[in-house]
Structure 1
Amino acid sequence: MGILNLTPDSFSDGGKFNNENSALKHAEKLVKEGAEIIDIGPQSTRPHAEFLSSREEIRRIGNTISRIKKEFPEILISLDTFYAETVRFGYNEGVDIINDISGGQYDEKMFDIAAQTKLPYILMHINPSYSTMHDKIRFEDITLEVNRYFSKKVHDLLQKGVKDIILDPGFGFGKTVEDQMKMIHEVEYLGFERFPLLIGISRKSFIYKPLGKSPLDINEETQKLHMKVLEQGAKIVRVHDVAKARETLMRFLQKK
């Protein structure tokens, strides 16, 4: 899954692709490098980012989704939003997957729209409100906590009629460095082996801050962690550098 941020303020690539032409050009690069899914994000969720309404998200997206679908019809597009109304817009434009960082907690209509559209739904573990999403919580057992959360939310989704669910443990959101490293080593225990697992660790601070590096200087370390999570059963990796991740994936498949 290649990341396409349509934002002026994302932490590592803000402002690079926030018009339709530059977004389309970057989508082409992601496809050429081997992306099978493009994750479009109209709103930054980094700490202290500007909070946008659904209307502003839709304005930012514009015709980007339909233009990418027209140019690359074989590519799946996921829409990174926690608003049901943005999902409705994206569905009409041709998106294939809902990527909701909030687990339905920031918009009570989200699970309903997922059921109505019948789109695959990415369920991420996160703190219960937008204002606390980055508050660091030290859990007694992070793996157990994430699985409890998944268990309840999956039940709620299934009750609504949403059956195509992807699980994301939420690296980079409200977790200590120690807990995130623990999750890396316990990926095989996350989820229930019934649903595919998505891992998003690209340019995350729990990797680069302890090393005293910048988000752009941790590619080697990130690929080692990608290999580790793939070996434990992860099915999707959400990345900025698709070419390097693709190389890691090819090495993993050769080892199997």
Structure 2
Amino acid sequence: MLSDSQTPQPVNAQPYSINCNGRLVQLDTPKIMGILNLTPDSFSDGGRFNTEKSALEQAGKLLSEGAEIIDIGPQSTRPNAEFLSSQEEIKRIGNIISQIKKEFPEALVSLDTFYAETVKFGFSEGIDMINDISGGQYDEKMFDTAAETKLPYILMHVNPSYETMHDKIRFEDITLEVNRYFSEKINTLLEKGVNDIILDPGFGFGKTVEDQMKMIDEVEYLGFRKSPLLIGISRKSFIYKPLGKSPLDINEETQKLHMKVLEQGAKILRVHDVAEARETLMQFLQKK
């Protein structure tokens, strides 16, 4: 894991911090979030980490390579993925959260779900933040549950229903649309008492290749610089399909885009390939 003693400190960084279960986490140095899919059907690593033993091993690997946050996903949200209920998600998670917290107490654990009940279960097991791809739109109880837990909440831009999640929409101005969405949702979350909000523009969800490249170019304008930005572009089709490559063959291109978003103020990179992202982060910090 990266620590303040191991990495150069960026100059003039936005002084964001989030309260994770009473642990104040500073985001002046950007963090790497390692993806841990417990699913049999994720598009690039399905079935590899869906046992407690393999999930623990992978969590340890992600942390050793430089991740500070482990994002646990019990349900794939790729196009045409199997739809699971909250009960099925909870069953799939089992003891993995508590085992990771026991084995790696220094790690922050994020839970990737759009169900309030799954969040409640994860909270009882020790999660440190909520990663809801739905922006509270797929479960009306999500925002209230986030407020009850007082955990940081990752708010992602996405289409308004599960069924339309991946429908490609051509926006007149994608940056304006995403900021309008963020503004509305942030106000609702603040009214309910959710104070630690992280913003995710939603790469890979219902946006054209052109709009996603425009978002990359305009990251610095997303979110009004009032909340930390999470960028999740790892193995996304808007990168590999135009190149005629597979999700596993775009590391060089992905790291160039990671550098670009870091230079524009991104605070969390959500990635599959942690070692490579860490190298990019180190290069970024050394340039500051």
Q: Identify which of 38, 41, 46 aligns with 1:9.
A: 41
| Aligned pairs for 1:1-256 within 5 A | 1-256=33-288
Instruction: Map Cα deviations across residues 96-143 of structure 1 (whole Å, 9 max, x no partner).
Output: 000000000000000000000000000000000000000000000000
TM-fit CA distance, 1:45 = 0.1
Q: 1:194: how far off? A: 1.2
Q: Which amino acid aligns with 2:82?
A: E
Other structure's SS at 1:171 match: coil
Q: TM-score, normalised by structure 1?
A: 1.00
Identity %: 86
Instruction: Write out the 4+ residue segments of structure 1 that deviate beyond 4 Å after TM superposition.
Output: none
Q: Distance in 2 between matches of 1:71 and 1:45?
A: 28
Aligned-partner SS, 1:237: strand
Q: Which amino acid aligns with 2:50?
A: N
For residues 152-175 of structure 1, the C-alpha deviation after alignment (integer angstroms, 9 at most, x for no partner) is 000000010001000000000000
Structure with the largest fraction of helix: 1
Q: Matched residues in 2 for 1:34 and 1:190: separation?
A: 26
User: How many corresponding residue pairs?
Assistant: 256
The letter of the residue matching 2:78 is R
SS at match of 2:223: coil
The structure showing larger relative contact order (alpha-carbon pairs under 8 Å, at least 6 residues apart) is 2
User: What amino acid maps onto 1:251 in structure 2?
Assistant: Q
**Separation of aligned partners in 2, 1:64 and 1:238:** 20
In structure 2, the residue corresponding to 1:40 is in which secondary structure? strand
* 1:45-98 alpha-carbon deviations (Å, 9 max, x no partner): 000001000000000000000000001001000000000000000000000000
Q: 2 CA distance for matches of 1:187 and 1:14?
A: 30
- Any unmatched runs of 5+ in structure 1? none
Q: Deviations over 1:20-66 (max 9, x none)?
A: 10000000100110100000000000000010000000000000000
Distance 1:151 1:194 in 2: 11
* CA-based RMSD: 0.3
Residues 196-223 of structure 1 show CA distances to partners (whole Å, capped at 9, x for unaligned) of: 0000000000000000000000000000
- For residues 31 and 168 of structure 1, what CA distance do their matches in structure 2 show? 22
Shift of 1:192: 1.4
Alignment partners' CA distance in 2, 1:145 and 1:192: 13
